């Protein structure tokens, strides 16, 4: 974990982080919670909260050992926050043990003075007996893998030889990946501009990305990226950069009619327009999120029709003209991007996966008739779960094989966030260069 840069006292950051942890445990999105934190404290709270979300299972198991009686909600959240920050992750800690304990106690005195002594005693015991207590917590699946039990079982069922590495990889910091706007320059040329700034970076070694994807050795604010404001570069994970080239393929004719059915926040929409001159409709059910699409297109100096509507309700938005190509980046569990959104694992419930799979099937069935004969549809989810990937498309092809639906043999399928030459599952995994995704390219005869 990197040290949060903030002028706000650590005790205050810990207090705000405890509030955020409590909100997530009560079912609120961390993105929404952080948006309500004061701007001067937000970067620090985000850094701390992301760390806590990654190690919340371990912290919870330790709390159950050292304090079997559950404390009041905010006291427990502050305790979980401090325990997660003291947890032995194998990486250097940004704070000394005594500093974290002292500031956590100070935060407790500010909010619930009666609990200060309790928190002090628990944290000091953990520091004294850390190795023993951590080993005890790791004997439980929650403490070992830091995901809900149902999630662990689903990943183990879907990926029986890789499940431990996948779960561990969700706690590794993701890469900071850029997409160079092909209309404005090459990846190699942009590498030189980064080098002139003293920023270490390298091209992503994936022929499907056309030499336009770059990974920075260290993340930085987008305002420090050369040409960002002018639309020369965007931030987008390498797996997400697979969508547009897959849909465009060997080349769509100029002016081809294309639908991006779940467009927000607009990264894939923009990428499509960077690759080809298209008559593109960007559709999304959330008008608020569509604002991001408009902002991205404006920054990149690209044009598309943008409309708010549920993709399934075709009578409300479709003009009757078939599309040459459709991108369906469907709503999903986001189980493939947990390292970027570490609260997702604690927010999802098993029933959510069933409901999302049903929604994905409804969208596929609604959009398929809108595709012109000879057209192509790319189905994508940022999910590890087979029910949102291979199983979903197998069922779709069974329903629509007689209507000309066929799976392209070059479909990427499930892209797992595993590093090259992945280490043994018991080892700390190295950072994978892409998130978890599923892609299917479907042709209409």
Residues with catalytic roles: 382
Q: Which residues contact 264 (CB under 8 A, 6 or more apart)?
A: 284, 286, 289, 290, 292, 293
Distances (CA, A) of 221 to 50, 191, 218, 234, 286: 17, 17, 10, 12, 27
Buried b (16+ CB within 10 A) or exposed e, 235-263: ebbbbbbbbbbbbbeeebeeebbbbbbbb
Q: For residue 106, how many other CB atoms are within 10 A of its CB?
A: 16
Nearest to 176 by CA among 117, 211, 217, 137: 217
| 29 neighbors 347 (Cβ within 8 angstroms) | yes
State whether residue 60 is helix, strand or coil: helix
Q: Which residues contact 292 (CB under 8 A, 6 or more apart)?
A: 264, 265, 266
Locate 223 and state its tokens.
Answer: 């305002």
Q: For residue 63, how many other CB atoms are within 10 A of its CB?
A: 21
| 242 neighbors 209 (Cβ within 8 angstroms) | yes
CA-based end-to-end distance of the chain? 51
């Amino acid at each position: 974990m990197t040290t949060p840069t903030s002028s706000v006292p650590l005790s205050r950051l810990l207090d705000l982080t405890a509030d955020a942890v409590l909100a997530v445990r009560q079912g609120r999105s961390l993105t929404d919670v952080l948006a309500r934190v004061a701007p001067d404290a937000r970067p620090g709270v985000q850094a701390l909260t992301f760390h806590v979300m990654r190690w919340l299972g371990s912290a919870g198991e330790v709390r159950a050992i050292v304090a079997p009686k559950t404390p009041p909600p905010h006291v427990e959240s502050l305790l979980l926050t401090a325990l997660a920050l003291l947890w032995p992750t194998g990486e250097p800690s940004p704070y000394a043990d005594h500093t974290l304990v002292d500031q956590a106690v100070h935060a407790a005195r500010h909010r619930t003075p009666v609990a200060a002594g309790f928190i002090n005693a628990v944290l000091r015991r953990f520091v004294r007996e850390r190795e023993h207590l951590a080993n005890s917590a790791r004997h439980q699946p929650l403490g070992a893998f830091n995901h809900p039990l149902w999630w662990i079982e689903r990943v183990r069922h879907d990926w029986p030889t890789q499940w431990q590495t996948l779960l561990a990889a969700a706690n590794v910091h993701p890469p900071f990946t850029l997409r160079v706007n092909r209309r404005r320059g090459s990846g190699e040329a942009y590498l030189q501009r980064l080098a002139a700034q003293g920023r270490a970076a390298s091209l992503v070694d994936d022929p499907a990305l056309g030499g336009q994807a770059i990974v920075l050795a260290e993340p930085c604010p987008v305002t420090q990226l050369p040409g960002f404001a002018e639309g020369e570069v965007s931030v987008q994970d390498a797996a997400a950069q697979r969508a547009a080239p897959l849909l465009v393929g060997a080349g769509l004719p100029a002016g081809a009619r294309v639908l991006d059915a779940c467009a927000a926040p607009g990264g894939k929409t923009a990428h499509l327009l960077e690759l080809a001159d298209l008559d593109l409709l960007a559709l999304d059910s959330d008008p608020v999120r569509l604002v991001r699409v408009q902002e991205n297109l404006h920054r990149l100096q690209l044009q598309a029709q943008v409309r708010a509507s549920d993709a399934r309700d075709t009578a409300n938005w479709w003009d009757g003209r078939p599309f040459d190509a459709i991108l369906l980046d469907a709503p999903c569990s986001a189980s493939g991007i947990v390292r970027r959104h570490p609260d997702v694992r604690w927010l999802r419930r098993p029933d959510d996966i069933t409901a999302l799979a049903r929604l994905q099937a409804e969208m596929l069935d609604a959009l398929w008739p809108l595709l012109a004969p000879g057209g192509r549809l790319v189905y994508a989810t940022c999910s590890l779960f087979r029910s949102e990937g291979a199983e979903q498309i197998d069922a779709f092809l069974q329903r629509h094989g007689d209507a000309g639906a066929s799976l392209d043999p070059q479909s990427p399928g499930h892209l797992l966030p595993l590093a090259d030459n992945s280490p043994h599952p018991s080892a700390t995994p190295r950072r994978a260069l892409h998130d978890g995704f599923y892609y299917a390219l479907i042709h209409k005869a």
